[in-house]
Structure 1
Amino acid sequence: MSDYLVKATAFDGQVRAYAIESTQFVNEACRRHDTWPTASAALGRTMTITAMMGAMLKGDDKLTVKVEGDGPIGAIVADGNAKGEIRGYLKNPHVDFDSNEYGKLDVRRAVGTNGTIGVVKDIGLKNNFTGQVPIVSGEISEDFTYYFVTSEQVPSAVGAGVLVDTDYSILASGGFIVQMMPGATEETISIVEERINQMTTVSTQIQQGKKPEDILESFFEGHEWHIVEQQDVEFSCSCSKERTENAIASLGNEEIQSMIEEDGGAEATCHFCNEVYHLSAEELSELKS
């Protein structure tokens, strides 16, 4: 079954929630970028949260998330949109460490504890919405929790987890975002906080066969809640050979001729999906105006 997310409301509209299974698209991204386990966890967490943030948008809206810490992994970039399409990459995929004191992948060490999280939303207006906050932990989920509270003024709990197998493939990946709406009572907030604190890690639940609906049920069991929408999510990149040709054509005849004479062709690699596009000297000649 393909990855998907569910959107839900609970407690008479006091709570908005998202939960996602992201194993397949995280595995695809990690395979394409040849990530090592700790890097896989960092990229997977970022993409999982970005996919849920994309589900908060509408129509052709899209967003780009950038996690840029001072750790060896470098910048992590993910694109998502309202259609459930997600892609991502990181600067240094070959980062791995021994487990941390909790027996988990040491994402904090890979990402770093100094830096920023930036979010740019293209919602079809003249100017994009841009939000940026400092990294507060390097664990990514806690950093996005801080982002929502600080940049968007929405009290939120964010969780994302990735389990990596011994062959570096992704065993399980998933996440959740639970947000308090204006008017949420202290009782509601207390109930949800307690449930979140008691929950088994989301990646373990996914590995055990739990679905996004089951994750939300663990938060709201015994209280009224409703699924608003279910949406498939998948790794999808908008790159193509045609786009590569257009980009090269925009460089001008002199630069294209230089590629022909010096290299006998051209090669371009997409940052997001690692797809390589080759253009022969003949193909380059056809791009000259």
Structure 2
Amino acid sequence: MSDYIVRATAANHQIRAFAATTKELVEEARQAHNTSPIATAALGRLLTAGSMMGSMMKGEDELLTLQIKCSGPIEGLTVTADAKANVKGYVFNPDVMLPPSDKGKLDVGKALDLGVLSVIKDMGLKEPYVGQTHLVSGEIAEDLTYYFATSEQVPSSVALGVLMNKDNTVKQAGGFIIQLMPFAEEEVISKLEKKIGEITSITSLLDNDYTPEMILEHVLGEFGVEIMDTMPTQFYCNCSKERVEKAIVSIGKKDIQEMIDDGEPIEVNCHFCNKHYMFSVEELKGIIKRSK
């Protein structure tokens, strides 16, 4: 089964929920960036969150960016997603290696350490919406839970997990975002808090091959889950040679002329998918002509 997101409601629409399976897209990102296991786990969690948060957006042209700048050895991560749950991203230091945490798990919190999470929503207005919070744990799910509560005033529970195989490929990846609506009754709130507190970890559910539907049933079954729809999600980068050419134009004629004078072709790398684009000296001359 390919990666997909399930959108649902529960408790007579007092709860809205999203759950995703993202193993394939996280593996694609791992291959594109040749990430270490801990970098794969961090990027995979943020990509999973990005795909679900992208699916929350209303307009087809809206874009979401999740950006983490941090003091830990991973240095930072950037993920972008659209309303169709196409998602892409990269880590600043894909080679980061750290010993396991006290629980014997990949220590994503230590890889990120202190930092800031920015959520940027470009909704086609003059200025994008930007919400920022400090990292509370660096484990990403808790940081997003805190972001929703403080920046969007939406009580939420975020769970994100990535499991690795012994050969460092991705075994499982996925997660959920469960949110309380403003009109949620106290009884529903306290029951939901209790239920979420009982969940050991999202990775244990993923390890037992739980689908997004099964995850939501496990968490929200007693509230009466109503599946609204499912949508595919994928790692997708819209870079092209034409788009890269526009980026070259933006650096200015003086710098392009210096590249031409060097007499060597240049290679431009896409941050998001790691594709390489070559431009010959003749192509660079053509870019200068067209930009006059």
TM range (shorter): over 0.9
**Cα displacement (A) at 1:199:** 2.3
Deviations 1:120-173 (A, max 9, x none): 101121221110011111111111100000000000000101111122111100
Secondary structure of 2:65's counterpart equals strand
TM-score, length of structure 2 as denominator length = 0.95
Give the letter for the 1:56 counterpart. M
Q: Hey, what does 1:91 align to over in structure 2? A: 92
For the residues of structure 2 that align with 1:263 and 1:16, how far apart are their CA atoms?
58
For the residues of structure 2 that align with 1:30 and 1:182, how far apart are their CA atoms?
38
For the residues of structure 1 that align with 2:164 and 2:99, how far apart are their CA atoms?
13
* Cα 1:255–1:68 shift into 2, 3 Å: closer
For the residues of structure 2 that align with 1:172 and 1:181, how far apart are their CA atoms?
30
Q: Hey, what does 1:223 align to over in structure 2? A: 223
For the residues of structure 2 that align with 1:252 and 1:85, how far apart are their CA atoms?
31
For the residues of structure 1 that align with 2:13 and 2:108, how far apart are their CA atoms?
34
Q: Hey, what does 1:74 align to over in structure 2? A: 75
**Cα displacement (A) at 1:247:** 2.1
Give the letter for the 1:52 counterpart. M
Secondary structure of 1:51's counterpart equals helix
Q: Hey, what does 1:246 align to over in structure 2? A: 246
Deviations 1:4-39 (A, max 9, x none): 001111001110110000111111111111111111
Q: Hey, what does 2:266 align to over in structure 1? A: 266
Write the mapping of 1:4-23 to structure 2, written as runs, cut at 5 A: 4-23=4-23
**Unaligned stretches of 5+ residues in structure 2:** none
Deviations 1:91-135 (A, max 9, x none): 1011122221222111111010x2110011011212211100111
Which range moved further: 170-179 or 33-42? 33-42
For the residues of structure 2 that align with 1:143 and 1:280, how far apart are their CA atoms?
45
Alignment check: 8 A CA contact 1:195 1:218 kept:
no
Count residues in correspondence. Answer: 288
Secondary structure of 2:223's counterpart equals coil
**Unaligned stretches of 5+ residues in structure 1:** none
* Cα 1:166–1:241 shift into 2, 3 Å: same
Alignment check: 8 A CA contact 1:265 1:279 kept:
yes
Alignment check: 8 A CA contact 1:39 1:95 kept:
yes
Q: Hey, what does 1:62 align to over in structure 2? A: 63
For the residues of structure 2 that align with 1:189 and 1:183, how far apart are their CA atoms?
10
For the residues of structure 2 that align with 1:190 and 1:41, how far apart are their CA atoms?
31
Q: Hey, what does 1:40 align to over in structure 2? A: 40
For the residues of structure 2 that align with 1:148 and 1:83, how far apart are their CA atoms?
21
Which range moved further: 279-288 or 69-78? 279-288
- Residue 107 in structure 1 maps to residue 108 in structure 2: yes
* Cα 1:19–1:260 shift into 2, 3 Å: same
* Cα 1:138–1:251 shift into 2, 3 Å: closer
Q: Hey, what does 2:284 align to over in structure 1? A: 284
For the residues of structure 2 that align with 1:127 and 1:206, how far apart are their CA atoms?
39
Secondary structure of 1:221's counterpart equals helix
Q: Hey, what does 1:174 align to over in structure 2? A: 174
